[in-house]
Structure 1
């Protein structure tokens, strides 16, 4: 369904050498699967996710969706192709002066659905999928974080996409709400057959939701494995960052020593700051 081939994305940095946020990454995502991408802040995972729909255009490489290279499309062709790629953002990105239904409908207007009747029917359909139909006339400020994220999911589903990209979809949510949102994503994948790519720094999200895992560090994918291996107590990732992410160390407040050397951590932090946190 998704084939990323030798992608690299480089950003200019003021007074410094350019920063390579994604460095020669290749990744295949099967149709109907849930692909997890995990790594520390600054690893390049969000940039890689935005490369898939060209919100961040790669400097080099190929982005192939269903045998079509998005990098070769015209602006109008790319706009049409993006209607099949829904996206859920970390910060919800709802329009505060629009109701829940109007926020969801906005995506359909951008997608060129001109019939008001069709738009309203698809809004109702999307809201029902995430069980938030009763909030259709409510404004975002009156919603909890979990409800806002469900509206964001409904907005992404309204265009009936084949692919759903999720950028840290649960990082602003409490554990109970996180479990609820993950269940909706799992149901969407199972019931609608939508291919899902989820970026996160939370290993519990990876364990609960994904089929396959790619571990990123310093712009590269350094390790891949099937997610079900995480439930095997004898499983040990081959890289130090993979072992650290799988361990309980990531949940502690600095009291446990990481296997990662300080130079590696410094490199990640420098990359993140240089591009204003976009990676």
Structure 2
């Protein structure tokens, strides 16, 4: 679903060149959940933003569903981004809009439907994350976990094929983390959305991801399937990979957990 080919991203920091992503290649399977971990400054969030070109790489190609985003015109790129949802660390909800209005706004920017259709789609998206009763509530009255669930609903409303998650649980408490991850696992299982999760929290990767890429100094230095951790004698090659022996967050079976649907 996602193919990153020899991507490098360079920033100018006061006359000095900082290579945040250094010649990275990565393949992410359709319908999978890909984890990207690394310590602060490893380049993982920049790589995530390369996937939807919020950060444009200095070189390389980024193919999503077979289309190289780097070669698109601004108008073509804007249309392609409608199929790539994004969840941010700090929710990025507009405080003067209700939960439903925040979701509707993404549909309006995407040019989807009229006002009534956008309202219907927003309520359906909120139902998926069990927040339909909070449709008229403003962000200030929502908990951290509820805000992140509104953000998930907003990302799902445009029916994306890809969902990019930048540290989606770092702004919520440990108890809420499992709930947020459960919703992400559910939408992956029910809708087949390809999910990429960037985090420094090892237990998050173990709970939700199928494959993990380890980043250091802008490079992918190790990649393996999480099922390998159960194989006798297997040990990750990098120190950060070995942190994956930390405590697990246990999720329920996604197909047995959630209700709600998005209708055309």
What TM-score comes out, normalization by structure 1 length? 0.86
What does residue 246 of structure 1 align with? 244
- For the 8 Å contact 2:187–2:193, the answer to whether it is kept is yes
Deviation, structure 1 residue 120? 1.1
Distance in 2 (alpha carbons) for counterparts of 1:246 and 1:158: 33
Other structure's SS at 1:57 match = coil
Distance in 2 (alpha carbons) for counterparts of 1:122 and 1:211: 30
- For the 8 Å contact 1:207–1:228, the answer to whether it is kept is no
Identify the range of structure 1 (90-99 vs 113-122) with the bigger mean alpha-carbon deviation: 113-122
Other structure's SS at 2:206 match = helix
Distance in 2 (alpha carbons) for counterparts of 1:197 and 1:207: 14
Deviation, structure 1 residue 133? 0.4
CA offsets per residue over residues 11-42 of structure 1, 9 Å max, x none? 00114x21000000000000000000000010
What does residue 227 of structure 2 align with? 228
Deviation, structure 1 residue 228? 1.7
Write out aligned runs for 1:124-139 (5 A). Answer: 124-139=123-138
How many residues align? The count is: 247
What does residue 275 of structure 1 align with? none
CA RMSD of aligned residues (A): 1.3
Distance in 1 (alpha carbons) for counterparts of 2:201 and 2:33: 15
- For the 8 Å contact 2:203–2:244, the answer to whether it is kept is no
Structure 1 unaligned spans of 5+: 250-279
What does residue 12 of structure 1 align with? 12
- For the 8 Å contact 2:100–2:135, the answer to whether it is kept is yes
Deviation, structure 1 residue 233? 6.4
Deviation, structure 1 residue 66? 1.3
Identify the range of structure 1 (148-157 vs 112-121) with the bigger mean alpha-carbon deviation: 112-121
- For the 8 Å contact 2:126–2:153, the answer to whether it is kept is yes
Write out aligned runs for 1:63-82 (5 A). Answer: 63-82=62-81
What does residue 187 of structure 2 align with? 188
Structure 2 unaligned spans of 5+: 248-264
What does residue 118 of structure 2 align with? 119
What TM-score comes out, normalization by structure 2 length? 0.91
Distance 1:28 1:130, change over 3 A: same
What does residue 260 of structure 2 align with? none
Deviation, structure 1 residue 247? 4.8
- For the 8 Å contact 1:83–1:159, the answer to whether it is kept is yes
Deviation, structure 1 residue 234? 3.8
What does residue 3 of structure 1 align with? 3
